[in-house]
Amino acid sequence: MATEPDEGSGYSLNYQCSPPGGITFLVLALVVGALCALVIPAMDAGLPTFWLTMASALAGAFIGSGPARRVVLTDGGHLLVTGFGQHVDVEARSITAVSVSRWARLGFGSAVVHWTGGQFRIWRSMRYTPERRHSFWSMRHATGRGGKDFGDLVYRLRLCNPALTIEGVRPPAWALPPPMRQPPHWN
């Protein structure tokens, strides 16, 4: 994977994460439902339905690409999680466990990262971004990756701390041991 120089020394792996897919879908359904409930009163008032359609499209675009967090794993062994009201700077060697509940795997929760100073939650829907995203509306970020890049991040944390306990995270292909060769069958 390509890396990018960080402000400090060395290189970093940058990820962009978004809220869980199930929660995003529920919020989107509530907002669009509320806007649809306003269609009949708006038509009675003579307001063109175009404006309500436009409002629901903008609401869907905002919620779909909306609140995001930036996750950076530096070569110095620090995990930085920033954005949407969260700022965490943890040394990767102090992380003791990463656990993902069944609800989080279904898209209705987040993973829990345990470290020697406590714990914090992190969203699983994340995407590796080779270069840092500066724009809120960047179209390169897509949600709903199902934790594929999250698994990559977690197993890279395990490289920093081999004693890390991982629960409920499927390993990426590079973290699996190579398949054993079968000896030839002689009859």
| Bridge partners (DSSP) listed for residue 166 | 98
DSSP 13: E
* Pair (11, 83) in one structural domain: yes
Same domain? For 88 and 42 the reply is: no
Distance of CA 32 to the CA centre of its chain: 24
Pick from 68, 45, 64: which is nearest to 56 by CA?
A: 64
Instruction: Decide if 168 is inside a domain.
Output: yes
Residue 183 in domain: no
Q: Which residues contact 162 (CB under 8 A, 6 or more apart)?
A: none
78 and 148 housed in the same domain: yes
Residue with more model confidence, 137 or 167 = 167
Name the residue type at position 23. I
Q: Are residues 121 and 48 in the same domain?
A: no
User: Which pLDDT tens digit goes with each residue over 66-109?
Assistant: 677 888 998 888 999 988 788 999 999 999 999 998 888 877 78
Q: Is residue 80 part of a domain?
A: yes
Q: How confident is the model at residue 1 (pLDDT cuts 50, 70, 90)?
A: very low
> For residue 11, what is the domain's CATH number?
2.30.29
Please give the residue range of the domain that contains residue 58: 24-64
Q: Is residue 180 part of a domain?
A: no
**3-class SS of residue 99:** strand
